[in-house]
Structure 1
Amino acid sequence: MHLDHDPGAAPADEIGFDEFLKVDIRIGTIVEAEVYDGARKPSLKLKIDFGPGIGMRRSVGQVRALYTPEDLVGRQVAGVVNFPPRQIGRALSEALTLGFADEEGRVVLFSPDSRVPDGARLF
């Protein structure tokens, strides 16, 4: 799968609302973060609390260009929680943490403006 990070790119193919609802995007709080030295690209291993319905999930994010582990603990982030787990090197990623590329291609994490309950779903 190729992800186009070009802000001037055309939109993806049109989908129906029911298809959008199949992607389960939730808010969670990062409770642990550590440098992932085994990754090909500078990454952090995250442990995210997605609330009582989903619980803790691990995620690997290529976010070291802008964030340190200390920056992230306690921060709320959005993540896809219904993808199958994915092996990334020696680490297992159980959620896809969401972000946008800045002008230099660095990942800027997607977070709510105000604190919301962990597990809240994007709609």
Structure 2
Amino acid sequence: MSRIKNALIIDDCPIDSFLNEKALAKFHEDIRIRTINLPVEALAYLKSIYALSLKKQLALKPDVVFLDIHMPKMDGFEILDELERNQAFMQNPVDIYVLSSSCRTYDIETAMNKKLCKGYITKPLNDTKLNDLFG
């Protein structure tokens, strides 16, 4: 089983975030979970990590990001595009999984065509989905 020590959830819906946090905490009891509800704030947070020294990056960088796509002001696709343009991030990227309630073919195909997208998961997370990813 892969050990996930740090996870980041980027989702504008507090209820979805809560459910996904609970699933992650059940999957790995000692996991540290950070949730950011504003996409612009999440992007700034990820970029700020890569401005730090390597030692500090290792302490703060999430092992995995779960990214919602339909959010106000900036969607998940735009976050992926911004991160792909960030050279420091691309040199040492984080595994990013799109986590969405959308089952639209367009959303799935668009996500899977992004360089940084490791997979597309429908909400909410559960033991089966997490075992498929990390078990």
TM-score w.r.t. length of structure 1:
0.28
Normalised to the residue count of structure 2, the TM-score between the two structures is 0.26
- 1 or 2, which has the higher strand percentage? 1
| Greater helix proportion | 2
